[in-house]
Amino acid sequence: MPEVHAPQSRCQLGVARGDITPPVGIYHRMWGAASHERATGVHRPLTATAICLRPLAEATPGPSDRILLAVD
């Protein structure tokens, strides 16, 4: 991943994305009208994206990471 050095920045930023699609064949009977109990395919993949902001040590002492998680 490329690095960007910005002297006016007072934090570190990290971004990650991962595939969280359940495997085909997993048990998924979630509602009463379902006609089968196992997943037969993937309609749309599911992903999770995380962003972490961490202040630089000299800017703010103590643990103050901020994490934003999106699941789609």
- Residue boundaries of the structural domains of the chain: 11-71
Q: Which residue ranges of the chain lie beneath pLDDT 50?
A: none
Residue 22, by phi and psi: left (phi above 0), alpha (psi -120 to 50) or beta? Answer: beta
The pLDDT value given to residue 45: 93
Nearest to 15 by CA among 35, 33, 1: 1
The pLDDT value given to residue 47: 97
The pLDDT value given to residue 58: 62
12/55 Cα distance (integer angstroms): 6
